[in-house]
Amino acid sequence: MSRQVLQVFEQYQKSRTQFVQTVAELASRPQNIETLQNAGVMSLLRPLLLDIVPTIQQTAALALGRLANYNDDLAEAVVRGDILPQLVYSLAEQNRFYKKAAAFVLRAVAKHSPQLAQSVVDCGALDALVICLEEFDPGVKESAAWALGYIARHNAELAQAVVDAGAVPLLVLCIQEPELSLKRIAASALSDICKHSPELAQTVVDAGAIAHLAQMILNPDAKLKRQVFSALSQIAKHSVDLAEMVVEAEIFPAVLTCLKDPDEYVKKNVATLIREISKHTPELAQLIVNAGGVAAVVDYVGETRSNVRLPGIMMLGYVAAHSENLAMAVIVSKGVVQLAIALSEEPEDHIQAAAAWALGQIGRHTPEHAKAVAVANVLPKLLQCYLRADASEDLQTKSKKALKNILQKCVHLPALEPLLHDAPSNILKHVVGQFSKVLPHDSKARRLFVTSGGLKKIQEIKADTGTALAEYINTINNCYPEEIVKYYSPGYSDALLERVEQYAPKV
């Protein structure tokens, strides 16, 4: 008799198990999710979270996590279904497999938007997750760290909440664990915490994260390196002090080898790190230059394409912007050539804009710098970027500024001459201005200017009197005998013919 009774229960339990397992299976395929949602899977899974059988609980949590992972509507549904407090409660109670699954749900919910992450925080998940970080099992730690990272990723308040829950020291401990995936995720979480504000980054630094992160830069695992470099750059980007602390971990010149990594993201993150450090002060930039960082970055800019190249280009610009000495260092490291290549071969506007900006920073210091930039045949390209009809506004302003900066220092006339022919008036002003500064003092240049047709071009420019352009033209004309100026003025042949007509021959 009792056997029959028990059989009913057994059957019920088997069907429940089968149901959750099937739902979890189905939820792992995106095409099924809409059907599942329409079938009301949420309301069915919710009671199963409270099932007496641990397996069913875990599988239900797994299914929920997969659903919530899919889009923010489903995550919203999880929040609205009051499932989170239940999960958080059991996060502290249950075994490690359940913890993993619960942390997965929390992560899946928190990943979509700040509001959802806030609702996860509001139900007290942080403390439970932080306790999970103290667990012995690396898998639990990993999923807890992952969830914390996704929560902290959205904004400074959430990151602050994570920090206030005391997660940082435990995450730093997690970095030191032997498991690669745990290290990776903890580094990523630290990176997400650091990125919002100097204070948060300082908290992470105070927990001693830099030394451990710095130890891992030569790790062979590419994905770990990505996260490590991302974390270091997020720390270094905020202030000079933090950047100096990162530098003091003696990451140079070891990080430069990672610029040769086969993994694109590692390369990009390393370049970002170098950029974030070099942008702060001339001293830090000098340190990088002295470690041979500029040569490495120049090579890197030459080897990579599109977005990966962008941080390298910006790093060169930042270094050159600090002082003329550093700009000269960029020039002797053959940075200008690579930037010119990047400027001409990159199809995207924002990368061209960055290259134009960097070139402007290099050329703006002294005539020597401007010459180095000008002989790389950059000026026509910059002009082309400025004049192109489909160029973005940013690219136009950047290239104009760069042109102006370089032209105001450039006294290398052969490079300026092509600009006389196709520059618009607001650029032409600077070009003619440079000629008017050089020609009065250089007889050879005066001669060359006439033979190359520059003077003729100057006479053809129509400048309103009283403008700076007219003044420059006047200065140039004053360097030459009147006949030559007249000879090259447009309409002079007509004037001569007129004189022939009016001439009365003496018979």
Partner 1 sequence: MAAMVRLLRQVEGIVEDSYARKNEAEAEREKEYTAVVTVQAWFRASRVRAYMKHLNSCATVVQKTWRGFLGRRFYRVLVKNSVFIMKLNYYNNMATNVQKMWRGYYIRKYVFNYYSRKRYLEALQIKNEIIRSELEDYAEQQDVMRKRIEEQREKIRQEREARKNHHLISTHVIPGVYNSPFLPFPAEQEYILRSVKPLPHSKRQATKSSFDPAWASYNDKLPKSLPPLAEKPQGPFRRPGSVQQQRYKPFQPTLRVSTDFYGLEKAREILKGEEWVTRYNDEIFQPFTRSDARRYEPLMHSTSMFGHQPYGTKYFREEQLDKHVTQLPFKSLVPPIPILDKLNDTYSQGQV
The residue within the footprint of partner 1, chosen from 70, 97, 104, 488 (CB under 8 A), is 97
Cβ proximity to partner 1, 138 vs 440, nearer residue: 138
Cβ proximity to partner 1, 61 vs 353, nearer residue: 61
Cβ proximity to partner 1, 324 vs 394, nearer residue: 324
Structure tokens at 253: 């010149």
Cis peptide before 198 (omega within 30 of 0): no
The residue within the footprint of partner 1, chosen from 333, 338, 436, 477 (CB under 8 A), is 333
What letter does residue 216 receive in the DSSP assignment? G
Q: How far is the CB of 159 from partner 1 (least distance, A)?
A: 32
Binding range to partner 1, per CB under 8 A, among 64-72, 292-300, 450-458, 498-506: 292-300
292 binds partner 1 (CB under 8 A): yes
Binding range to partner 1, per CB under 8 A, among 146-154, 258-266, 341-349, 481-489: 258-266
Q: How far is the CB of 405 from partner 1 (least distance, A)?
A: 20
The residue within the footprint of partner 1, chosen from 105, 168, 296, 340 (CB under 8 A), is 296
The residue within the footprint of partner 1, chosen from 17, 118, 202, 396 (CB under 8 A), is 17
257 binds partner 1 (CB under 8 A): yes
- Measure CA 434 to chain center: 36
15 binds partner 1 (CB under 8 A): no
Q: What is the dihedral of CA 278, 283, 289, 292, to 10 degrees?
A: -100
Residue type, 463: A
Q: How far is the CB of 301 from partner 1 (least distance, A)?
A: 13
Residues 197-256 binding partner 1 (CB under 8 A) are: 253, 256
How many Cα atoms sit within 13 Å of 223 on the Cβ side?
9
Cβ proximity to partner 1, 120 vs 362, nearer residue: 362
Structure tokens at 286: 């000098």
SS3 179: coil
10 binds partner 1 (CB under 8 A): yes
Q: What is the dihedral of CA 328, 331, 332, 335, to 10 degrees?
A: 140
Cβ proximity to partner 1, 104 vs 472, nearer residue: 104
The residue within the footprint of partner 1, chosen from 197, 239, 323, 392 (CB under 8 A), is 323
Q: Concatenate the DSSP letters of all residues of 378-408 into one string.
A: -HHHHHHHHH-TT--HHHHHHHHHHHHHHHH
Helix extents (H) in 279-392: 282-290, 293-303, 306-322, 324-332, 335-345, 349-363, 367-375, 379-387
Smallest Cα–Cα separation from 408: which of 382, 377, 433?
433
Binding range to partner 1, per CB under 8 A, among 169-177, 266-274, 319-327, 347-355: 319-327
Q: Distance (Å, rounded) from C-alpha 336 to C-alpha 126?
A: 50
Sign of the four-CA dihedral 272, 277, 278, 281 = positive
Residues 49-78 binding partner 1 (CB under 8 A) are: 53-55, 58
39 binds partner 1 (CB under 8 A): no
Q: Distance (Å, rounded) from C-alpha 442 to C-alpha 440?
A: 6
The residue within the footprint of partner 1, chosen from 156, 240, 295, 461 (CB under 8 A), is 295
Cis peptide before 253 (omega within 30 of 0): yes
**Within 10 Å of residue 483's Cβ, how many Cβ atoms?**
9
Cβ proximity to partner 1, 43 vs 257, nearer residue: 257
156 binds partner 1 (CB under 8 A): no
Cβ proximity to partner 1, 54 vs 424, nearer residue: 54
Q: Distance (Å, rounded) from C-alpha 37 to C-alpha 23?
A: 11
19 binds partner 1 (CB under 8 A): no
Binding-site size for partner 1 (CB under 8 A) equals 29
Residue type, 133: L
SS3 90: helix
Cβ proximity to partner 1, 24 vs 473, nearer residue: 24
**Residues lying near partner 1 in the complex (CB under 8 A):** 10, 17, 53-55, 58, 97, 253, 256-257, 259-262, 289-292, 294-296, 299, 323-325, 328-329, 332-333
